[in-house]
Structure 1
């Protein structure tokens, strides 16, 4: 891990696993990108601490990781609650002695609707989970990393946090806030061995897009310059890379995982023109 002084978690080990000996935490690990990233952390050699409100789902994931020979701990967590977020980190350190990496992935919010039709309580729920949850995660994760000699945090943003998306007022506002929090935290701890970055996925084949049906998936793919939807393992691989020594000089940045969407508008011309 970047900034750590222990040889067991520095760079790529003799096993070829980039996070061998490290301890990684995933908040929002019950399914989709969070679950895929937890598995990727474990396969990269890290002990993994799983946090989510769905205790049964993360316990099942922990068993899957252990069945593959990895180490995992499931902790039922509400990321918007300060004591719950603190307890997640506390249990990670109690179980494994340190914290080297964290992925703040939990998200929530209202269903898509025009701004004036969104219930204020639903809007608040989106802000609580996304912005407050990310803030609380870093508030407790960073001191644990400092105590271990350094570490890396990755926050879950979105391409919707860089530009407006109709019907997604709470989601876009929350993801834009996460990008701001990421930059500030990166600057606050840049000279103390803790790196903080964010990822911004575009359309990814998660349970939400799967449930939306084939027509919605086709439409999402058409909006991507590469002409396809992304996979959860592609996001997971980016998060693991950002937490490894291979990304040791990267902090305060937003990495799009979007098939080229943020590059601009691609005009599809007829064949032969």
Structure 2
């Protein structure tokens, strides 16, 4: 049976690209979303060169209309989605008192609101009303850092949102889960290599329904 499209929001050279590769190898057409159109185009071309179905869509996760439009274009172009992975985030060093309201709003627009926009856009598009909505969380949600305050607050809010969404979708055919990555992605620990993490997301997508979980703490 043909598999539905995997929408990967927030594709960079690390985890985002590894996620696109993992779901492509699993047989899904993959849509890559990010702000750098040139890089995304090259990444999608590399996947298509390997025989996979892939396409790039420039989108700013912090701009609701831009993100909604790009997700709709991908569903029209590649087919109804089966998977959404929201991997977009603003990763910056900042302190509890170091940013003004506008800077906070900009960070939260990507770290939290973009996930809500993606969810509301993709849920009605899921093929046969079934699929997986997966979100990249972080250890700062559990242990906030005064040196990465917007990331800490954003990941905590995203974690709460995903837990609520998981409960909201209970009994449906939609698996909602957050991967709380409590480590340095791409660092010296091989457990946090992008490919190893991407495999964990793929495992979540393939979990039997009676094992669905709201959160995987990857530590």
TM-score, normalised via structure 1 length: 0.75
Matching of residue 239 in structure 1 with residue 201 in structure 2: yes
Q: Distance in 1 between matches of 2:191 and 2:213?
A: 26
CA distance in 2, matches of 1:66, 1:32: 19
Q: Which of 128, 131, 138 lines up with 1:148 in the alignment? A: 128
Partner of 1:101: 83
Deviates more, 1:114-123 or 1:189-198: 114-123
Cα drift, residue 252 of structure 1: 5.0
Q: In structure 2, what is the equivalent of residue 27 of structure 1?
A: 9
Which residue of structure 1 lines up, in the alignment, with residue 216 of structure 2? 255
Contact conserved, 1:195 with 1:250, CA < 8 A, in 2? no
Pair 1:251–1:121, CA change in 2 (3 A): farther
The partner residue of 1:117 within 98, 101, 105 is 98
RMSD in angstroms over aligned alpha carbons?
1.9
Structure 2 gap segments, 5+ residues each: none
* 1:177 aligned to which of 139, 157, 161: 157
Which residue of 156, 168, 172 maps to 1:188?
168
Equivalent position SS for 2:94: coil
Which residue number in structure 1 is paired with residue 109 of structure 2? 128
**TM (normalized to structure 2)?**
0.92
1:158 aligns with 2:120: no
Superimposed CA distance per residue, residues 160-194 of structure 1 (whole angstroms, 9 cap, x where no aligned partner): 11122231211111001111111121122222211
User: Equivalents in 1 of 2:97, 2:39: separation in Å?
Assistant: 35
Give, in whole Å, the separation in 1 of the partners of 2:133 and 2:111: 15
Of 66, 70, 79, the match for 1:88: 70
Q: Which residue of 2 aligns with 1:270?
A: none
Distance 2:62 2:94 in 1: 23
Give the equivalent residue in structure 1 for 2:25: 43
Matched-pair contact (CA < 8 Å) for 2:191–2:197: no
Larger % of strand: which? 2
Aligned positions, number: 219
